[in-house]
C-alpha cells in the first residue's frame, strides 16, 4: 500500500494494489476509485484535500494497524 499527497494538485492518492487500472469511477464529489479488470478497487483519490481537512498536517501522518 502506498500513500501519496500531491500538494500542488491538492490531492491524496492511496494505492491498494499494483494491478493495472482499467476504469475509474467518481463515487462522491471529488472521491475517485480506480478499478482493475476484476472490478476490484486498486486505488482511491481524494481531491480538494485542504478543503476537506483544513487542519491536516501532511508532514506528520501516522500509520496504524490493528
The secondary structure element, H or E, covering residue 50 is helix 49-52
Is residue 66 included in any domain, yes or no?
Answer: no
Query: Virtual CA dihedral for 13, 56, 9, 41, nearest 10 degrees?
Result: 20
What's the pLDDT at 65?
80
Give the list of residues 6+ apart from residue 15 with CB closer than 8 angstroms, or none: 1, 2, 3, 4, 42, 43
pLDDT tens digits along 7-20: 899 999 999 999 99
Does residue 22 form part of some domain?
A: yes
Residue 25: which domain range? 2-60
pLDDT at 55: 83
Structurally, the chain folds into a number of domains equal to 1
* Residues in the chain with pLDDT values less than 50: none
Q: How far apart are CA 11 and CA 47, in angstroms?
A: 5
Is 65 a domain residue?
no
Amino acid at each position: 500500500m502506498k500513500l501519496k499527497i500531491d500538494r500542488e494538485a491538492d490531492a491524496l492518492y492511496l494505492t491498494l494494489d499494483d494491478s493495472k487500472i482499467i476504469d475509474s469511477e467518481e463515487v462522491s464529489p471529488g472521491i475517485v476509485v480506480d478499478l482493475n479488470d476484476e472490478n476490484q478497487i486498486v486505488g482511491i483519490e481524494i481531491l480538494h484535500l485542504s478543503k476537506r481537512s483544513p487542519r491536516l498536517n501532511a508532514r506528520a501522518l501516522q500509520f496504524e494497524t490493528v
